[in-house]
Structure formats: C-alpha cells, structure tokens
C-alpha cells in the first residue's frame, strides 16, 4: 500500500496562503555551485521555493540576492514544517542577514513588485 503525503514545498505554500502551481522549485540541499542558477530563477519567476542546507543557507542566499540588486523580494523562512517546533517567518532580503537559521529549510522568495 502506498500512502502519499504532501511535500514540504506544498505545505510551505499552504502555510503562507499562496498557491504553488505557478512557482519554480529548486534544491540547494547538498548541491555546491548552484547559487547562480537560483539568482536566474529569482529574476525569471515571481515565486521561487528553495530547499536549503547548512552550507547553502539563508544568509548566503540573502547576500547573493542583495549583490544582484534583488532586494525588493519578500522571503518566507519555513522551519521544521509539520513538526511541533514549526516556525514560519517573513522577511525582506536585507533582514535575512541577521537571521540565525540552521538545518534543512524551505524558503519561498516572492517578487512583490510583480504580484501587485
């Protein structure tokens, strides 16, 4: 018997009240050298969901977004989804530089200028 569950990305979008059918997905988990690809996806898509790890973390992503002039994005950091310690926080890109987040997370990057 196969009992499917929902993905962490689906749950993250549900928690922030956004649809995910028009989003771009990318995993940085365990993948070195993919930040440039992420930047291209953020430029090309209004919604981008990213799986992170301790190396490809929120601060690294925030620095690159700022370096590339992509500061006008809203970012949701979704930690421990579906667990007792679940936490979902909303930030602007520059605020992410001060955030302490460890482990595997889903972050959702939204282009607010395009969605208005």
CATH number for position 14: 3.30.950.10
pTM comes to: 0.89
Distance CA 49, CA 7 (A): 12
Residue with tokens 């955030």: 99
Whether 35 maps to a domain, the answer reads yes
Q: Tell me the three state secondary structure of residue 99.
A: coil
What pLDDT digit, counting tens, does each position of 24-79 carry?
A: 999 998 777 788 999 999 999 999 999 999 888 899 999 999 999 999 999 999 99
Whether 17 maps to a domain, the answer reads yes
Of 93, 58, 60, 96, give the one whose Cα is nearest residue 74: 93
Whether 14 maps to a domain, the answer reads yes
Distance CA 29, CA 51 (A): 6
Q: How many domains does the chain have?
A: 1
Whether 3 maps to a domain, the answer reads no
Domain span at 48: 8-115
Alpha helix (H) ranges present in 8-93?
8-16, 35-44, 58-67
Whether 2 maps to a domain, the answer reads no
Q: What proportion of the chain, given as a percentage, has pLDDT over 70?
A: 96
């Amino acid at each position: 018997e196969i009992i499917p569950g929902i993905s962490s990305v689906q749950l993250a979008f549900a928690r922030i009240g956004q649809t995910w059918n028009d989003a771009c997905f990318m995993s940085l988990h365990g993948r070195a050298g993919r930040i440039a690809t992420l930047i291209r996806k953020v430029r090309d898509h209004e919604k981008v969901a990213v799986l992170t790890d301790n190396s490809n973390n929120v601060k690294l992503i925030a620095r690159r977004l700022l370096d590339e002039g992509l500061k006008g994005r809203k970012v949701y950091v979704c930690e421990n989804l579906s667990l007792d310690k679940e936490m979902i926080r909303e930030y602007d890109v520059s605020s992410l530089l001060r955030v302490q987040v460890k482990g595997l997370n889903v972050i959702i990057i939204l282009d607010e200028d395009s969605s208005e």
